[in-house]
Amino acid sequence: MLQRPVQSPRSHDVLLVGGGLANGLIALELRRRRPELRIGLLDPDVEPEPHTWCLFATDASPAAWQSLAPLLDQVWEGYDVAFPGHRRELTTAYGRLTSGALLAAVREALGPGLLRRRARLVSPEEVVCEDGDTYAAPLILDGRGASPSPHVDIRFQKFLGLELQLKRIHGLRRPIVMDATVRQTDGYRFVYALPLAADRVLVEDTRYSDAETFDRLQLESEMLRYARGAGWSVGEVVRRERGALPVVLSGDVEAYWDEPGRHVPQVGMRGLFFHPVTGYSFPDALQVAALVADNAHLGSRELARRLRERSIALWRQRSFYRLLNRMLFLAASPEDRYRVLERFYRLPQPLIERFYAGRTTFGDKARVLAGKPPVPVGRAFRAAVTKRASVHA
Ligand SMILES: Cc1cc2nc3c(=O)[nH]c(=O)nc-3n(C[C@H](O)[C@H](O)[C@H](O)COP(=O)(O)OP(=O)(O)OC[C@H]3O[C@@H](n4cnc5c(N)ncnc54)[C@H](O)[C@@H]3O)c2cc1C
């Protein structure tokens, strides 16, 4: 049971606002490398609905993957993809972290520093909570999740998942990261399936779509139909998961960072630390946790400046991914979007690994764009040069 702390200005060296993936990993990295620091983490929802975060082993440095390993609930030695004209097994390891495992580790690391509190005002020097309590620290990090902005033009990778308890063993050996053999509707559609136990599976209907909304009941029945089609005998739906991850088309990153409030160090989705195509933030979160631990002696304002610089540098390096997103969303007709991914998954595995890790090389880019484009050339060209007025891609 969490105890309500007495208001105590400057009772911490570091305050983490929001206890999700980014700040959870930062808390663990700080505790590991700076054990002397008094760390507080504020989140109103310290026991959220269970959910999972996955990443490829090649998304992390070998050292980061190794230190993450004890936290991961499962690591699979590869995964499958399937398209109408092409199936493939890849041997890149894929790991799964549950929110329960992260929370347990953070709880152990921070003890009474884990505070059930909702922040109302966050400044570089203090956090005012909804109940009026105020906490102060020389270093405050804002990891309260994505914050929408008029300066970033996004579409969505939206998904609805069902965790299914089956009556019998499913026989799925590896995750299916993309099964695009399903009916193409509402953009690029695929099913994602994770074998959680011999008789338990998570199936997600995922769509690269222009709209964030979806029909929950219809998607649920589609997923149950998919499970039946795979020969799985469904006993019970034990959990539901949904989300809409940002897929970035273009934006003005400097204007984003000039918005009010961003002089507090921004981490996680809020600091734009995510992959523009997949919306995944786990790989960046590991790197940001290392950056914060290296610079924890700096105050909020200086660290905010460094995080801003890192985020802007990553944004610039990642213009290629936004170009691909524009081709996917603006050039390909929704029912043909799968062709872009089908073609991508014919490329060599190391290229695919670098793509997901956000480390695509110049040569990779040439290979991704080489040959006959799977979308009409004229439209692809217009999409490539399309920018919203006054917005830099
Ligand atoms: C269902 C789902 C599945 C995903 N799966 C993956 C995946 O497999 N791999 C991957 O890399 N990415 C995944 N993502 C994308 C992304 O990595 C996650 O969204 C990730 O959780 C983002 O981390 P974050 O720390 O920025 O925000 P979050 O993890 O969302 O954490 C934000 C935290 O801030 C807290 N908070 C909000 N307001 C306040 C406040 N006022 N005061 C204090 N605390 C507050 C919230 O309670 C929350 O705990 C997934 C996203 C979703 C929605």
Map 165-211 to HEC letters.
EECCCCCCCCCEEEECCCCCCCCEEEEEEEEEECCEEEEEEEEEECC
Of 96-105, 221-230, 251-260, 331-340, where does mean pLDDT reach its minimum?
331-340
Tell me, what's the pLDDT at 3?
Answer: 45
Answer whether 94 contacts ligand 1 (Cβ < 6 A).
no
**How far does residue 271's CA lie from ligand 1's centre (Å)?**
12
pLDDT at position 380 is: 58
In the chain, the percentage of residues whose pLDDT exceeds 90 is 79
* Of residues 184, 189, 123, 128, the one with CA closest to residue 156: 189
Query: What's the average model confidence in pLDDT over 283-308?
Result: 96
Mean pLDDT of 98-114: 95
Could you tell me which residues come within 8 angstroms of residue 49 by beta carbon, excluding any fewer than 6 positions away? 99, 239, 241
**Ligand 1 close to Cβ of residue 51 (< 6 A):** yes
Ligand 1 geometric centre to CA of 145 (Å):
5
Average pLDDT, integer, range 304-308: 97
pLDDT of residue 335: 79
> Tell me, what's the pLDDT at 10?
59
Rg, the chain, Cα only: 21
Q: For residue 82, report the phi and psi dihedrals to the nearest 5 degrees.
A: -145, 135
Q: Is the dihedral of CA 262, 131, 28, 34 positive or negative?
A: positive
142 C-beta closer than 6 A to ligand 1: no
In this predicted model, what pLDDT tens digit does every residue of 222-237 receive, in sequence order?
A: 999 999 999 999 999 9
Q: Cβ neighbours of residue 365 under 8 Å, at least 6 residues apart?
A: 320
Q: Among candidates 140, 207, 152, which has minimal Cα distance to 178?
A: 207
Alpha-carbon distance of 21 to 190, in angstroms, equals 25
Q: Could you tell me the distance, in angstroms and rounded to a whole number, from the CA of residue 189 to the centre of ligand 1?
A: 23
Q: Is the CB of 100 under 6 A from ligand 1?
A: no
Q: Is the confidence at residue 383, as pLDDT, over 80?
A: no
Q: How far is the centre of ligand 1, averaged over its atoms, from the C-alpha of 352 (Å)?
A: 25
Predicted model pTM: 0.92
Residue 46 has a pLDDT of: 75
pLDDT of 22 over the 90 cut: yes
Per-residue pLDDT for 58 more than 90?
yes
CA distance 149 to 31: 33
Going from the Cα of 319 to the center of ligand 1, the distance in angstroms, rounded, reads: 24
Half-sphere exposure of 213 (CA within 13 A, CB side): 1
Across the chain, what does the average pLDDT equal?
A: 91
C-alpha–C-alpha distance, residues 136 and 116, integer Å:
16
pLDDT-based confidence at residue 9 (cuts at 50, 70, 90): low
